[in-house]
Structure formats: structure tokens, C-alpha cells
């Protein structure tokens, strides 16, 4: 079986698992089964880090354990909810193949990238490496990066000198990705009867004030243009 055929077979099996913020452990099981000969031979080291029942992150390593250089390879195992399945041309978890294309939820984002990374990782496990490679298959990326947050907090990224993320794109290898800062704002008001609104305070007015102030405060940041990443946005 060619490497391309291995990727398609592995991807097809992955897509058939409805891992919508759940069941990522089943995807991890598939990966481990695919890599079973290398795991049994000790060519690949394996860790399962539980996030929730049935939802395990999978961390695999190959190469020199004492290496100074480590390449991280990352892919998430969850997918977006398919929505109204009756609007799909083919059932979202059927992995239907037609005209050389595989259809299904997660076929692009990002089980295809993960499957390709796993097949390449399997091949690399048989090479003599002077560096290390750490493959991370994570849970919960589509909601709040739950798995990546968990692995980062546990120090799994500390030794990495580079990171390849197998997200879908334009067939190019992009050198960088913009970061993100999320925050939660709480505005306080005062309840009042609709007959005497003058005795209350509308919390929405505070949100309006903040939004205007934030636009002003972030304007200098948004005005900067990076040749690779473009400009920042505030949304």
C-alpha cells in the first residue's frame, strides 16, 4: 500500500468517527492501531493524557530523547458540528469518495492534515534521527483549544524548537500565525421598573462605552502592518 493510500484509509476511518467535541479517544485509538508495529518495537513512545472521559490527547515521540532540537507536529481530532445533516450532499460521517475527493465533516479541517502527519511520522520512526519529533493529537480545538491548553500547561511545548501545525490552507507552508487574546467583560447595571427607568442604570451603556474606548486604545496596534502577518484586528 502506498503512503497516499495509507493516508486515505486512515482519513476515511477518522472521518467516520463523529468527534464533535467528543469521542476523540476513538481517533487516538485509530492512530495507535495504525502505529502498532512501531509502538510494539519501541520505535515510538506513547502517552495518553485524559481531558475528559472518552477524550484523550495523544502524544507520540521518536528520535533521540536527549536531542537539543525538537520538532512539534500538531493536529486536532475534533470537528465542527455538521448542522442540518439533510443539507449535506453526502452524510457528514460517511467518508464518501467520489471523483477522487473524500467528503465528510473533518475531511479538510483537519483530519486530512492529521492523517498525513501520522503517516509521515510512521515513516520517520524508521529513520535514524539526531533530533526529536513530538506528534500531538489534541482534543477540543474547535471550541476553546482545550487539549492544546492542557498540553501547554503540562509543559509539552517547552522543549520544542519548532512547531508544524497541519491545518488546511492554500497548499503553501506558512511560516507563522497571528496570536490571539480573548477576554471577558462584565458590565454592571441597576434594575428598575419600566415606569421609572431614571432610577436604574442600563448595563448596555457601559458596554458601548467600553467598545468605543477599546477601538481608540487598539487603533495604534491595528495600524501596524507586518509583511507576513498583516495587521491586528479587534473584534
> Which pTM was predicted?
0.84
How does the average pLDDT of the chain come out, rounded? 95
pLDDT of residue 171: 78
Average pLDDT (167-176) is 83
Asked if 78 is an active-site residue, the reply is: yes
Burial class for 69, CB neighbours closer than 10 Å (0-12, 13-18, 19+): middle
Residues in contact with 16: Cβ distance below 8 Å, sequence separation at least 6, in sequence order: 93, 94, 95, 104
Q: Is residue 180 pLDDT above 90, yes or no?
A: no
Contact 27, 118 (CB under 8 A): no
pLDDT in tens, 103-157: 999 999 999 999 999 999 999 999 999 999 999 999 999 988 999 999 999 999 9
Catalytic pick among 78, 198, 225, 226: 78
* Per-residue pLDDT at 172 exceeds 90: no
How would residue 182 be classed by pLDDT, with cut points 50, 70 and 90? confident
Q: Which is the catalytic residue, given 24, 38, 56, 141?
A: 141
Give the start-to-end residue ranges of the domains of the chain.
Answer: 3-165, 181-235
Let me know if 141 is a catalytic residue.
Answer: yes
pLDDT digits (tens, 9 = 90+) for 206-227: 999 999 999 999 999 999 999 9
Residues of the chain with pLDDT > 90, as a percent, come to: 89
CATH code for the part of the protein at 3-165: 3.40.630.10
Q: How far apart are CA 223 and CA 5, in angstroms?
A: 47
Whether 14 has a pLDDT exceeding 90, the answer reads yes
Q: What is the pLDDT of residue 211?
A: 94
Q: Looking at the predicted structure, is the pLDDT value of residue 168 above 90?
A: no
Per-residue model confidence (pLDDT) at position 173: 84
Amino acid at each position: 500500500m502506498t503512503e497516499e493510500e495509507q493516508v486515505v484509509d486512515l482519513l476515511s476511518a477518522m472521518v467516520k468517527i463523529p468527534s464533535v467535541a467528543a469521542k476523540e479517544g476513538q481517533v487516538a485509538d485509530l492512530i495507535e492501531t495504525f502505529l502498532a508495529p512501531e509502538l510494539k518495537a519501541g520505535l515510538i513512545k506513547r502517552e495518553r493524557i485524559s481531558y475528559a472521559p472518552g477524550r484523550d490527547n495523544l502524544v507520540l515521540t521518536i528520535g533521540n530523547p536527549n536531542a537539543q532540537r525538537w520538532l512539534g507536529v500538531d493536529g486536532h481530532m475534533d470537528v465542527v458540528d455538521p448542522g442540518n445533516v439533510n443539507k449535506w450532499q453526502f452524510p457528514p460521517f460517511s467518508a464518501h469518495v467520489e471523483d477522487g475527493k473524500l467528503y465528510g465533516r473533518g475531511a479538510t479541517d483537519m483530519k486530512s492534515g492529521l492523517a498525513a502527519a501520522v503517516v509521515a511520522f510512521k515513516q520517520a520512526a524508521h529513520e535514524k534521527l539526531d533530533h526529536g519529533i513530538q506528534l500531538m493529537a489534541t482534543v477540543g480545538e474547535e471550541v476553546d483549544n482545550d487539549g492544546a491548553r492542557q498540553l501547554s500547561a503540562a509543559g509539552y511545548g517547552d522543549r520544542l524548537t519548532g512547531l508544524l501545525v497541519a491545518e488546511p490552507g492554500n497548499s503553501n507552508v506558512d511560516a507563522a500565525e497571528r496570536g490571539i487574546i480573548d477576554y471577558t467583560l462584565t458590565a454592571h447595571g441597576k434594575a428598575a421598573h419600566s415606569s421609572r427607568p431614571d432610577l436604574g442604570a442600563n448595563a448596555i451603556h457601559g458596554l458601548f462605552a467600553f467598545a468605543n474606548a477599546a477601538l481608540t486604545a487598539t487603533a495604534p496596534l491595528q495600524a501596524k502592518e507586518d509583511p507576513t502577518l498583516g495587521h491586528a484586528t479587534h473584534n
